[in-house]
Structure 1
Amino acid sequence: MTEGQYLSGRILLAMPGMYDPRFERSVNVMCVHDEHGALGIGIGHIRDGVRFRGLLEEVGIDPGDAPDREVHHGGPVEPGRGFVLHSTDWGGQDTIAVEPLCALSASLDVLRAIAEGRGPRHWLIALGYAGWGAGQLEGEMRQHGWYAAGGHREILFDTPTDARWTSTWRADGIDPSFLANTTGRA
């Protein structure tokens, strides 16, 4: 892929009938994608039994007045590692810009800032990530695995988790009820 074809800052959607059931109706913010591979954070599924305030307590941070939000299943890789997708009004030493969609932070600093009420205005937290080696994602896209939607900020921060898959398709002008579970070959 050329630089303009990389998917950083876009939303990756699992196609209906995807071959890997772990990613059924998956919605991933593509944070890094280049010639070396890709990293996405899942925002379409919730981690059962895990809440933000409990996570703060687990890492030794006083939750203060932090809201007790749901924690997303970010992906199958390193499921104990936390990531915060957030608005660009906050940035720490290790914050990565995910243009034009958001920023990504994975340090305790962002968690402390949120707990103390000085963090980003918009944020969500996920445990784990989805990762692809060099050329792997491109191959999966050719095999009816993924669709690369636009980077719709309103999907990330203003749409309920269980509505993100359908809402992202619709934001790209596609009715997902018309999608087939398989692709053909010409």
Structure 2
Amino acid sequence: MSFDSAPINLTHHFLIAMPGLEDESFARSVVYLCEHSERGALGLIINKPSDITLKGLFDKVDLSLRREDLRSEPVFQGGPVQTERGFVLHEPMLANSADTDESAYASTMTIPGGLEMTTSKDVLEALSTGAGPRRVLITLGYSSWGEGQLESELAENAWLTVGADLSVIFDTPVPQRYDRALGLLGLQAWMLSPEAGHA
């Protein structure tokens, strides 16, 4: 086996759409990859807010939202797959006691790099009481790639990749997230040619 065919693992990385990527779902998007393996990849777009606020989402599922800091936050369009389903990207819950069961939600993926992604309603129920993870990003839908699909898109220069920086997800105003993610590579949007890779 040669070294150049070793699989790349972009879990806990950002995918940054190149200007030539005109797909409506992904143009100028920053995708946080929750999982990447030889079977494919799964991620959430972190810079495309929907017109639904978290308060609106909680109202729809008959929960109150006692977290003032979250009420006006947008729900994001996480990608074109299962757009009626919620995905919660959040910091891991720190158990306050030796009983660690209270920090785990029913359907949670632990992402190497320090985040978790939960799809079960119990995380929303925790947030509704004023508890739950301190920092969250909630999407409707997700982005996925089948076996080898993301690798071929990377080979076609559809995406740039960089290790994820949590401050881009949780501390950066939404309109600045694309430019901040590019900045992690030392790039600015004007430096990218839409014609890249199409000589």
Q: Give the one of 84, 91, 98 matched to 1:87.
A: 91
Q: 1:60 corresponds to which residue?
A: 62
Report percent identity of matched pairs.
36
Q: 1:45 corresponds to which residue?
A: 48
User: Matches of 2:197 and 2:89 in 1, distance apart?
Assistant: 36
- Give 4+ residue runs of structure 1 displaced > 3 Å after superposition: none
Q: Give the one of 11, 17, 20 matched to 2:20.
A: 17
Q: 2:154 corresponds to which residue?
A: 141
Q: 1:73 corresponds to which residue?
A: 77
User: Matches of 2:31 and 2:113 in 1, distance apart?
Assistant: 15
For 2:55, the aligned partner's letter is R
For 1:72, the aligned partner's letter is F
How does the TM-score come out when normalised to structure 2? 0.86
Q: How does 1:1-186 map to 2 (within 5 A)?
A: 2=6, 5-48=8-51, 50-66=52-68, 67-68=70-71, 69-89=73-93, 90-184=103-197
Q: 129-138 or 59-68: which moved more?
A: 59-68
Structure 1 unmatched ranges of 5 or more = none
How does the TM-score come out when normalised to structure 1? 0.91
* Cα gap change, 1:96 to 1:2, in 2 (>3 Å): farther
Are the counterparts in 2 of residues 9 and 31 from structure 1 also a CA contact under 8 Å? yes
User: Matches of 2:163 and 2:83 in 1, distance apart?
Assistant: 26
* Cα gap change, 1:101 to 1:173, in 2 (>3 Å): farther
For 1:24, the aligned partner's letter is A
Q: Which has the larger radius of gyration?
A: 2
Are the counterparts in 2 of residues 10 and 101 from structure 1 also a CA contact under 8 Å? no
User: Matches of 1:150 and 1:29 in 2, distance apart?
Assistant: 9
Are the counterparts in 2 of residues 39 and 130 from structure 1 also a CA contact under 8 Å? yes
* Cα gap change, 1:91 to 1:64, in 2 (>3 Å): same
**Secondary structure at 1:113 match in 2:** helix
Q: CA deviation at 1:64?
A: 3.4
Aligned length: 184
User: Matches of 1:129 and 1:140 in 2, distance apart?
Assistant: 17
For 2:19, the aligned partner's letter is P
* Cα gap change, 1:143 to 1:109, in 2 (>3 Å): same
Structure 2 unmatched ranges of 5 or more = 94-102
Q: CA deviation at 1:91?
A: 3.6
Q: CA deviation at 1:101?
A: 4.6
Q: CA deviation at 1:185?
A: 6.5
